[in-house]
A and B are shown apart, each in its own frame.
Chain A
C-alpha cells in the first residue's frame, strides 16, 4: 500500500512532477489512512505560491522495506486540521499556518510556534492590528483555575547556562498538572535564508542549525545536494561520515550522562563524564581540527582525509575513552540512591509516544523500535548496521540507560570501521544541481530523526528547503512526561530528553 503517495528511498531525488498532487480530500484522507496503519510523518510543510499554498507531506512507511512516501496538494486560505485525530501533526499544522498564512480549520491548540514572520507577503494570523510582529512567548497560556493552583513561570533566562525557552507550569503544591513550553527565542530565519540557495555559506548554516548536531544536519544536507547533483560520496568519505556521526553521538550521550548525574547531585559521574566528553570532542578535532565537526562534511565527500596515522591515534584514544566511560557510568548503576532517583520519573507511555510521534532516543526509551540508521539506511549504514536498542520502562532511568547502551554500540561501530577504512578518494567534485527536482534525506542524529527536504525551481535554486530537527517532534514528549510529576523533577526530566532549542527555532 502506498496510499496514493510516491514511494522512494532515503537520500534519493526525483522530478517534482512525479509527486502526486491529489485533491484535498484524497490527500488528507490518505494521510489519515497511512497514520492509522502505522506510517509516521517525517515532514509536513507548505510552499507559498501566487495562488495559495502547496502542502507537502513526507511519511515514513511501516515495515522493513525502508520506503518513504511523499504527496502534495494545493490549498487556499485554509485547510482542514487533522491534529485532533493525529496529534503528531499538531505542531506541523501550526508551523504551516505561521509560515504560509493558511489556517488549519478546527485545530485544537492554535497558537504560534516560533513567533516568526511568514515566508510570504502578508501579516501573520496572530499579529496585532498594526501589523507588528509577535514577540516570543507573548500568547495566551493554558491555565488551570482554582484556589490551590499556582502558576510557575521559568525562563527564558535560566539560572544555568542553557539556551532560552519559556516554561509555564500549572501546579498544585509540588505536583505539576500541566506544562506548556514556548520557544522561538533563537529563531534565526534559516529556512528563509535558504530560499534561492544553495550559496557558499549554506553548508556553514547547516552545520549550525543545532550546534551539537553538526554531523547529523550536515550529512542530511550533503545527501540532498549529492542526490540533486548526481554525485556520489566515496566509500571512504561515507565511512568517515559514519564515524563522525557516532563520535558526535558518543560525545553528547556522555555529556548527558554526566549532566543527569549532576542533576541528581551525584558528583563522581558528573565530573568524569564532563572530561570524557571532552575526549570524544578531541577525537572529532583529530579528524577535522574542530571539536564540533565544523568543516568535516562537504558535499561530495569530506573536507579532510583520515590517514593511517590519524586512524591509529583515534583507535588508541577510543580504547582509553571506552575504559574511562565504562567505569564512570558503572558508578551510576551501582549507586542505589542514583537509581532510586531516576526510576519511575517522567514516564511517557508507549501509546502516547506513538501518537505524538516521538523520534530517536526518546522514542526508543518508550519501547518504540525506530532508528533511521536501520529503517531508512543511508551512507555507511547501508553496509554496516548498528543494532537498535530499546527500553520498556519509559522513564528517566530508561533514557539514561539507553544512552549508555547506544554509546557502547557506537564504540563498537567506530572500533570496527576505523580499522577497515576503504581506500580511495575522499572528495568528489560537485556538479550543478538539477532543476525542478525534489530530494529528501533522513539521518539519525544523536537526538533522533533529522529530515531535510529540498525542492529546486526551474533554475536549479532552492524554492524551499525544509528542515525538521528531532526536537520538533520531541518537545511535546517533555510536556507529557511532566504530567502529575513533582515540579522539582523537571530539571531531571528535561535533561533526560535534552532537546535542542535552536534546532527547533531554526
Chain B
C-alpha cells in the first residue's frame, strides 16, 4: 500500500463522514433562492443532527429489536456502500470483482430494515409508506442493474472502481448515446431513491402522502439523527455514482481531482434543488410509470453497447 493510497483513502472516508449533510444544506439554499427567501444556513442539517443527538429517544412498548435495528442497519449498509464507490477519479478504498452486486444489495438490505422497522410499529401510515417504498424500489432496481451491465460491458471490469474510472471524456466519444440514456435513467433513480421531488417530498408534513418520511415517523432523538445522516449519506453515495457518469472530468493529479469531485457534488445538489423548485410532485399513481420509463432508458443504453 503506497502513501498516496493511504492519503486518498483517508480523504475518501473523511469526505464520506463530513460532507453528506452539506448537500442537503445546498439543496435547501437553492430552493430558498427560488422561493425568494434567505433560507436556512448551509450548515443547518449539521445543527439538526447535533440537536437530535442531544435529545432523548422514545421507544414504543409495542416495538421489538427490529425497530431499534432499523436506523443502525440503514446507516451501516450505506456506510459500507460508501467505501465501495470511487469518489471522482480516485479508486475506492475497497474494490473487488463483483462489488457492484454488493453495492446494489447493501441499499436493499438497509431498505429492508427500514421497512421492517416501520412495519414493527403497527401504524397504518408506516405500513402504507413501506408498501410504497417496496413498490418503487422494486421498479427502480432494474434501472440500476441495466446501468451496471452497460458500464461493465464498456469497461470490461466487474468492480465499481474499474467501471467508473473507465467513464472518461474518451468513453463519451464512442458510447455517448448510451451514456446519455444512462444518465437520464440514473437521475430518476437518484431522485426516487433519495425521496426527492417529484417522487416524494422530504419537507412535507402530510402523513398520508409521504413515502420515506412516513416510515420513520416513530423514530426520535439519536435514532432519528442516525436516519437523517444515513439519508444524506445515501444521497452522497448515489450522487457520487451519478456524478462520475455525468461529469467525468479528471486532471490526473490527486488534489485538483478531489476539488473537482467536491465541486461536482455541490453542483449536483444545486441541480436537485432546481428540479425541486420548478416542478410539483407527481401523483403517486404516476410514479411507477416514470420508473418504468427510467428502466427503458437504461435498457436501451445496454442494447446500444451490446449490439
* Residues of chain A having any CB pair with chain B under 8 Å: 150-154, 158-160, 173-174, 261, 263-268, 270-272, 335, 337-338, 340-341, 345, 486-492
Contact = CB atoms under 8 A, between A and B. Distances in A.
Interface stretch (B103-111, B198-206, B246-254): B198-206
Contacts of B55: none
Contacts of A160: 205-206
Interface string B268-307: 0000000011111111111000000000000000000000
A337 B279 CA distance: 6
Residues of B contacting A: mostly: loop
A30 to B, nearest CB: 44
B208 A154 contact: yes
Interface string B35-64: 111000000000000000000000000000
Contact of A488 (B37, B124, B209): B209
Given A266-B280, A337-B279, A491 B34 contact: no
Given A154-B208, A272-B36, A491-B206, A265 B280 contact: yes
A80 B14 CA distance: 77
B97 interface: no
Nearest to A160: B205
Chain B: interface size category? 20 to 34
Interface in B1-31: 31
B125 interface: yes
The 5 closest A-B pairs by CB, nearest first: A271-B35, A265-B281, A491-B206, A264-B280, A266-B280
Given A337-B282, A487-B128, A488-B284, A267 B205 contact: no
A159 B205 contact: yes
Interface in B178-228: 197-198, 201, 204-209, 217
B119 to A, nearest CB: 13
A268 B34 contact: yes
A152 B124 contact: yes
24 contacts: A150-B127, A152-B208, A153-B124, A154-B207, A159-B205, A159-B217, A173-B131, A174-B285, A263-B204, A265-B198, A265-B281, A267-B34, A268-B34, A268-B36, A268-B277, A272-B35, A337-B280, A337-B282, A486-B283, A486-B284, A486-B285, A488-B208, A490-B208, A492-B209
Contacts of A174: 128, 284-285
A150 B124 contact: yes
Contact of A263 (B124, B125, B127, B206): B206
Contacts of B278: 268, 335
Contacts of B36: 268, 271-272
A271 B124 CA distance: 31
Contacts of A489: 209, 283
A338 B280 CA distance: 5
A340 B282 CA distance: 8
A103 B280 CA distance: 49
Contact of B282 (A158, A271, A341, A345): A341
A152 B35 contact: no
Contacts of B37: 271
B198 A159 contact: no
Contacts of A264: 280-281
A338 B277 CA distance: 12
A265 B198 CA distance: 8
Contacts of A486: 283-285
A28 B201 CA distance: 52
Contacts of A270: 35
A487 B35 CA distance: 28
B284 A159 contact: no
A486 B34 CA distance: 30
A153 B122 CA distance: 12
Contacts of A491: 206, 208-209
- Counting chain A CB atoms within 10 Å of each CB, the highest count among B198, B207, B217, B280 belongs to B280
Contacts of A267: 31, 34-35, 276-277
B120 to A, nearest CB: 17
Nearest to A332: B280
Contacts of B205: 159-160
A265 B208 contact: no
Contacts of B204: 263, 265
Contacts of B35: 267-268, 270-272
A174 B197 CA distance: 20
A31 to B, nearest CB: 38
Nearest to B286: A340
- Counting chain B CB atoms within 10 Å of each CB, the highest count among A261, A263, A264, A267 belongs to A267
B250 to A, nearest CB: 35
A158 B208 CA distance: 11
Given A174-B285, A263-B206, A341-B280, 14 more contacts: A151-B124, A152-B128, A158-B207, A159-B207, A159-B217, A261-B280, A264-B280, A267-B31, A267-B276, A335-B278, A340-B286, A488-B284, A489-B283, A491-B208
Contact of B125 (A152, A266, A337, A338): A152
A400 to B, nearest CB: 12
A491 B210 CA distance: 11
Contacts of B125: 152
